[in-house]
């Protein structure tokens, strides 16, 4: 039974008090509920690699105490007077973005994720490793009934990150490569397969072949095997790079057909070095993509429910957040860690 009274009593959370610090119990009093805000009682929250980067302040944008968590599923617990489309008790999901200006050129074009005033769920705000969260209701998305909360949570960041570029760039006739079979990659393979594409998975871990094929890959290439990499030269229309390691990008450009595109969604550490001629010759391109718009998130959730696309998850109680973070740090999650609040309920 959820015990927090309505109003402004404090929210229980897990926070890092300083860079690279372990998460500790932390309580905070939320901002007053605005007219368009909702308070969501959190049932499940996925652990994304970005949460580890934020805890460690790898991007220099973190503020402490830092409550991570931006793959949230929970129930609307309170709502402001202007919230018309969400009901008390309704299950919703929240991802990386918690607000945008909603009136700039990009917001008006339905690209809220490109808004200069975009606010991140756990940068300068307290995130989803908590009992509740308050945010703009226009960034809380109804979760289709078919999806279990722990499998849906990772779709809110990991899922949309791979779905949005595929939706924009890929046609059913295409042959698509996915680099990395991890939190993002295992979802990208499922989406690309459901789009009708022929999918090739690339991984440096040969032990992931069986599962990559179960997710929908029809071909698996061990990225350490240079002759296997050469054998597929010129065979793919599109490659989505989901890994966060520095790889031999020239080898992947060689695998693209003329007019092919290599799209980055993983934040690889080193600058990407590519000779211009490698792009000029086959009119190839390199691009990037960040999360997705509100419309794309809603399309993604509906598409995932329709095609039975779910994140493969391991769950732990919220109190074990440090254990989950450790597994993500060591790349041991298969394929996404999800923290659960056992007491969350639909009202
Ligand atoms: Zn994320
Ligand atoms: Zn805007």
Superfamily of domain 11-157+292-300+311-340: Medium-chain alcohol dehydrogenases, catalytic domain (3.90.180.10)
> What pLDDT is stored for residue 161 in this prediction?
98
| 11-16 and 23-28 beta bridge pairing | antiparallel
Domain locations along the chain: 11-157+292-300+311-340, 159-288
Q: Any idea of the CA torsion for 145, 265, 250, 285, to the nearest 10 degrees?
A: 90
Q: What is the CATH number assigned to the segment(s) 159-288?
A: 3.40.50.720
Ligand nearest to the CA of 187: 1
Q: Is 164 left (phi over 0), alpha (psi -120 to 50) or beta?
A: alpha
Reported as a pLDDT band with limits 50, 70 and 90, residue 239 is: very high
> What pLDDT is stored for residue 343 in this prediction?
76
- Which token pair is 56? 């460690």
- Which token pair is 35? 């007219």
Q: Are 338 and 315 in contact (CB under 8 A)?
A: yes
> What pLDDT is stored for residue 346 in this prediction?
54
Å from CA of 156 to ligand 1 middle: 8
Mean pLDDT of 244-272: 95
pTM for this one? 0.95
Q: What is the share, in percent, of the chain residues with pLDDT greater than 90?
A: 94
Cα within 13 Å of Cα(162), Cβ side: 34
Mean pLDDT of 133-148: 98
> What pLDDT is stored for residue 7 in this prediction?
57
169-175: long-range pairs with CB below 8 Å, 24+: 169/238, 169/261, 169/263, 170/195, 170/197, 170/237, 170/238, 171/197, 172/196, 172/197, 173/197, 174/198, 174/237, 174/238, 175/200, 175/235, 175/236, 175/237, 175/238, 175/257
Ligand nearest to the CA of 159: 1
Å from CA of 71 to ligand 1 middle: 7
Å from CA of 92 to ligand 1 middle: 17
- Which token pair is 212? 């990559």
Reported as a pLDDT band with limits 50, 70 and 90, residue 2 is: very low
Q: What is the share, in percent, of the chain residues with pLDDT greater than 70?
A: 97
Q: Are 237 and 257 in contact (CB under 8 A)?
A: yes
Q: Dump pLDDT digits (tens) for 57-72.
A: 999 999 999 999 999 9
Å from CA of 308 to ligand 1 middle: 21
Ligand 2 ion: Cβ-proximal residues, 5 Å cutoff: 100-101, 104, 107, 115
Å from CA of 122 to ligand 2 middle: 19
Q: Minimum mean pLDDT among 211-215, 260-264, 270-274: which range? A: 270-274
- DSSP label at residue 145: T
Ligand nearest to the CA of 109: 2
> What pLDDT is stored for residue 4 in this prediction?
58
Q: Taking CA 192 as the corner, what is the angle to CA 189 and CA 194, rounded to the nearest 5 degrees?
A: 105
Q: Dump pLDDT digits (tens) for 164-181.
A: 999 999 999 999 999 999
Distance (Å, rounded) from C-alpha 42 to C-alpha 338? 12
Residue 253 backbone phi and psi in degrees, to 5: -60, -35
Those residues whose C-beta lies under 8 Å from the C-beta of residue 271, and which sit 6 or more positions away, are: none
């Amino acid at each position: 039974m959820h015990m927090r009274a309505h109003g402004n009593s404090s929210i229980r959370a897990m926070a890092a008090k300083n860079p690279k610090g372990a998460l500790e119990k932390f309580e905070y009093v939320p901002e007053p509920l605005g007219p368009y805000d909702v308070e969501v009682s959190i049932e499940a929250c996925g652990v994304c690699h970005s949460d580890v980067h934020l805890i460690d302040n790898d991007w220099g944008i973190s503020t402490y105490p830092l409550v991570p968590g931006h793959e949230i599923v929970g129930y609307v617990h309170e709502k402001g007077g202007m919230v018309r489309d969400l009901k008390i008790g309704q299950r919703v999901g929240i991802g990386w973005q918690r607000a945008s200006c909603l009136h700039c050129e990009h917001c008006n074009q339905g690209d809220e994720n490109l808004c200069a005033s975009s606010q991140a769920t756990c940068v300068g705000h307290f995130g989803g490793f908590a009992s509740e969260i308050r945010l703009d209701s226009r960034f809380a998305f109804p979760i289709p009934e078919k999806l279990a909360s722990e499998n849906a949570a990772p779709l809110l960041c990991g899922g949309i990150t791979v779905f949005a570029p595929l939706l924009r760039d890929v046609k059913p006739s295409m042959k698509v490569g996915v680099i990395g079979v991890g939190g993002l990659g295992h979802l990208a393979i499922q989406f690309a397969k459901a789009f009708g594409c022929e999918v090739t998975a690339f991984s440096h871990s040969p032990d992931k072949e069986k599962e990559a094929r179960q997710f929908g890959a029809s071909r698996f290439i061990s990225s350490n095997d240079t002759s296997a990499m050469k054998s597929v030269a010129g065979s793919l229309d599109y490659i989505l790079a989901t890994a966060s390691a520095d790889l031999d990008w020239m080898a992947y450009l060689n695998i693209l057909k003329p007019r092919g595109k290599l799209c980055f969604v993983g934040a690889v550490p080193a600058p990407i070095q590519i000779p211009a001629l490698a792009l000029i010759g086959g009119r190839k391109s390199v691009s990037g993509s960040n999360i997705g718009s509100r419309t794309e998130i809603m399309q993604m959730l509906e598409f995932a429910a329709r095609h039975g696309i779910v994140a493969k998850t391991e769950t732990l109680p919220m109190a074990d957040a440090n254990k989950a973070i450790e597994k993500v740090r060591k790349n041991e999650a298969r394929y996404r860690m999800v923290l659960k609040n056992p007491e969350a309920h639909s009202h």
